[in-house]
Amino acid sequence: MSGRTHAGACPERTCVGCRERAAKIELLRTVAVEDACVPDPRGTLPGRGAYVHPALSCFDLAVRRRAFPRALRVPGPLDTKALRQYVEQEDSCQQHPAGQATP
Ligand SMILES: [Zn+2]
């Protein structure tokens, strides 16, 4: 084992939207359940996962590129409505801090 260029303490995954690598914990895991792509924030669902930043910009990129079916190895298009809702929530929490949060 000598070919490793970077020893990572935390596992990294590639965002299917912006294609940047990020720590697994910063990304949202998604899995295909039947014909839908659903969020799996706790990482408990079985099967292959695709990782995306919980941001609409990344989500939209991934949808436009059909990255979810490709990453999840499913032949057809996936319903991403539930996932979009989830990402919208996460995104609005991060981008619009309502007032000053008390520490
Ligand atoms: Zn991203």
- Domain ranges within the chain, ordered by starting residue: 12-95
Give the model's confidence band at 13: pLDDT under 50 very low, under 70 low, under 90 confident, else very high. Answer: very high
Q: What is the pLDDT of residue 59?
A: 98
Residue 91, CA distances (Å) to 12, 39, 56 in order:
21, 14, 6
CA–centroid distance, 24 to ligand 1, in Å, is 12
> What separation, in Å, do the N-terminal and C-terminal C-alpha atoms of the chain show?
45
CA–centroid distance, 27 to ligand 1, in Å, is 8
pTM of the predicted protein model: 0.81
pLDDT over 90 percentage in the chain? 77
CA–centroid distance, 18 to ligand 1, in Å, is 4
Domain at 12-95, CATH homologous superfamily: YlxR-like (3.30.1230.10)
CA–centroid distance, 103 to ligand 1, in Å, is 28
CA–centroid distance, 16 to ligand 1, in Å, is 7
